[in-house]
Amino acid sequence: MSEIEVRNLHFSYTKGQEVLAGITLDLNLRPTAIIGQNGAGKTTFVKLLKGLLKPTEGDIFVKGYNTKEKSVAFLARYMGLVFQNPNDQIFKSKLIDEVMFGPLNIGQDEKTAKRNSLEALDLVGLRNRINENPYDLSLSDRKLVSIASILAMDTDIVVFDEPTIAQDYRGKEKIKDIIRYLKDKGKLVITIIHDMDFVAETFERVIVFNRGKVLLDGDTRFVYSYRDKLRTASLEQPYVMQLAQKLHIGTPLLTVDEFTDWFNKR
Amino acid sequence: MFFMKIITVEHLKYKYPLSDKLALDDISFEIEQGEFIGIIGQNGAGKSTLCQALVGLVPNFYKGSYGGTVLVNGINVSKTEVSEVASHVGLVFQNPFNQITGSKLTVYEEVAFGLENLGLPVEEMKRRIDNVLNLLGLYEFRDKNPFDLSGGQMQRLAIAGIIAMQPEVIVLDEPTSQLDPQGSEEVFRVVQRLSEQGMTIVMAEHKMEKIAAYSDRVMLLHDGKLIDFDIPKKVFSREDIEEYGVITPVYTRICKNLDIKDENGFYPITIDEAHERLEKIL
């Protein structure tokens, strides 16, 4: 059984206007990036995985449970979603209360919730600010608070909607480390993201959404080699790959390190 | 050719209320009309605060202690009503959710909001709104509720609302963070076109490849201080740039690893420059 099974998924907010038009795929333990143009249905898709929306046709099974038959509260034990806009998620006036809310809510006892929350805040680098009001933090730090809140719930599946928004270089490195850490802990990480180079450096599998359907799905290097198909979905290859192609280098190089190694060994 | 100084900042110092640290620490610079300026630096360096200071929200909205002067098009922004400043310089917020008024039911009316406040004739408003919606690929969504847009569409709407007002200066605080790659490229192209038409652009951004390709000069901030303000090539070739929490464009990093410089001792910063150098070697 896969962690998540999506079968012939259709969804529309307004009758006759399909946002998702027949998606079938399995999500396993490989860190997976979902990319696609604005309005392609990516956020809608993860809301459906989380059970916040229900399919108009087809089914989604999370850990074997059909999302149509289970409550959002039940599914929350298995899957955490970090919202695109942290302001939609944050509502407590103290950072530690904010992060502990989720774990307590899915039934962790006070002690476990506290331990998990402190650990999560450590991971995002905000442990020394637990008594502050989240709304006094910058947008990038608030995004890290929203990430910590989900990590503290210790769910098997973690979904990020645009985790690198407002992050600088160090913030992005931190998020990269968190994704690797979650992978090592045996968790499924799914991320919606527009930063192609970040994807190239961090994710093993890439799924391209286009007009409510899956355009490409496979290993990162494989998906990124389809330049023209990516363009039809308003996407681009990672910068390193663009340079390699312009130089007619036959090897699909994804990262700065790969390029440097290739050059030195040629 | 005569270049007019449109922004002059002298010894700008600023501290947020309740903070004991200067968010902007003695910053001075001049910007000429029609320049495209990129602001880079790690989070907390003062990029957003400087953006807010250029439109007078710092100090007039945020309060706090303020010193020095910011002149935009001859007006001293800290001593002028925000509404008066708004007709000269527009700010696109970092988070588009904060910019959407919430008082308008359609994308079309949302763009009209700023224009209504300027008191423009209806025909002129319609012309500008149609133009800007087309420019940013939003025309097909004109009857939608702004809050039903995706994150990226909303970000383009926030930009459209400001461009429609045709201020002399546009300040953009990470305006493409939620856009897909082509959408983000389009915004840079639109903004570049505006700067070629004489509008002055100041943009805080983390996408270094884009800043390298599009900006005339780059401002490097760190800890509230202005570290450097020069052509992108010079700034991205600084050996100490990573100490400021800034990563250089992918092309620069590759060339630096391979020790490839141009005749002036600078690293290539764009795909074309890197291509040109590497092609000769390969």
Contact across the interface for A239 and B247, Cβ inside 8 Å: no
Q: What residues make up the domain containing A258?
A: 237-266
- How many Cα atoms are found within 13 Å in the side-chain-facing hemisphere of A113? 16
Number of domains in chain A: 2
Q: Which of B184, B247, B275 sits opposite A243 (nearest CB)?
A: B275
Task: Give chain B's contact residues with A (Cβ, < 8 Å).
Answer: 41-44, 48, 94-95, 97, 149-153, 174, 177-185, 206, 209, 245-247, 249-251, 253-254, 257-258, 271, 274-275, 278-279, 282
A17 at interface of B, judged by CB pairs closer than 8 A: no
Q: Based on the fold, state whether residues A5 and A56 are members of the same structural domain.
A: yes
Which residues of chain A have a CB within 8 Å of the CB of B97? 85, 87
Q: Mutation target for B interface from A34, A160, A168, A251: give the one with most B CBs within 10 A.
A: A168
pLDDT for B199-252, tens place per residue? 999 999 999 999 999 999 999 999 999 999 999 999 999 999 999 999 999 999
Flag whether A67 is in a domain.
yes
Q: How far is B19 from chain A (nearest CA, A)?
A: 11
- Note the pLDDT of residue A246: 95
pLDDT at position B2: 55
Q: Same domain for A196 and A214?
A: yes
How many CB pairs below 8 Å do chains A and B form together?
Answer: 114
Query: Which chain A residues contact residue B209 at CB under 8 A?
Result: 239
Q: Are residues A6 and A36 in the same domain?
A: yes
Indicate whether B97 pLDDT > 90: no
**Position A124 in a domain:** no
Q: What is the pLDDT of residue A248?
A: 96
B151–A170 CB contact, under 8 Å: no
Whether A134 maps to a domain, the answer reads no
8-state DSSP, A138: -
Closest Cα of chain B to A244: distance in Å?
A: 9
User: Cβ contacts (< 8 Å) between A243 and chain B: which residues?
Assistant: 250-251, 254, 271, 274-275, 278
B263 dihedral zone (left: phi>0; alpha: psi -120 to 50; beta): alpha
A256 and A193 in one domain? Answer: no
Residues of A in contact with B257 (CB under 8 A): 256, 260
Q: What is the ipTM of this complex?
A: 0.88
A200 and A262 in a common domain: no
**CATH code for the domain in which residue A34 is found:** 3.40.50.300
Q: Is A235 on the interface with B (CB under 8 A)?
A: yes
- A233-256 pLDDT, tens digit per residue, is 999 999 999 999 999 999 999 999
Nearest chain A alpha carbon to B48 = A138
Q: Domain for residue A135, yes or no?
A: no
| Contact: B250, A239; criterion CB under 8 Å | yes
Are residue A226 and residue A241 in the same domain, yes or no? no
Instruction: Tell me the mean pLDDT in the region B129-154.
Output: 91
Say yes or no to pLDDT of B260 above 90. yes
Residues A69, A2 share a domain: yes
Other Cβ atoms closer than 10 A to B55: 24
Q: Check if the beta carbon of residue A69 is closer than 8 Å to that of residue A60.
A: no
Q: Is residue A142 part of a domain?
A: no
Of B41, B181, B257, the CB nearest to A234: B181
Q: Which residues of chain A have pLDDT under 70?
A: none
A59: which residues sit within 8 A by CB, 6+ positions away? Answer: A5, A6, A7, A8, A9, A66, A67, A68
In a domain, A229, yes or no: yes
The reply to whether A73 and A4 lie within a common domain is yes
Looking at the fold, whether A242 and A222 belong to one and the same domain comes out as: no
Whether A224 and A245 share a structural domain: no
Check B282 against A247: CB less than 8 A apart: yes
Comparing CB atoms, the residue among A167, A168, A234 nearest residue B182 is: A234
| Best residue of B49, B51, B150 to probe chain A, by most A CBs closer than 10 Å | B150
| Full-model pTM | 0.90
Does the residue A244 lie in any domain? Answer: yes
Contacts of B268 in chain A (CB under 8 A): none
**Min CA distance, B111 vs chain A (Å)?**
20
pLDDT for B1: 47
Q: Does A260 touch chain B (CB under 8 A)?
A: yes
Residues A44, A23 share a domain: yes
Q: How far is A25 from chain B (nearest CA, A)?
A: 23
Give me the half-sphere count of Cα atoms (radius 13 Å) on the Cβ side of residue B64: 25
Residues 108-127 of A with CB under 8 A from B: none
Average per-residue pLDDT for chain B: 93
Q: Are residues A23 and A70 in the same domain?
A: yes
Domain contains A212: yes
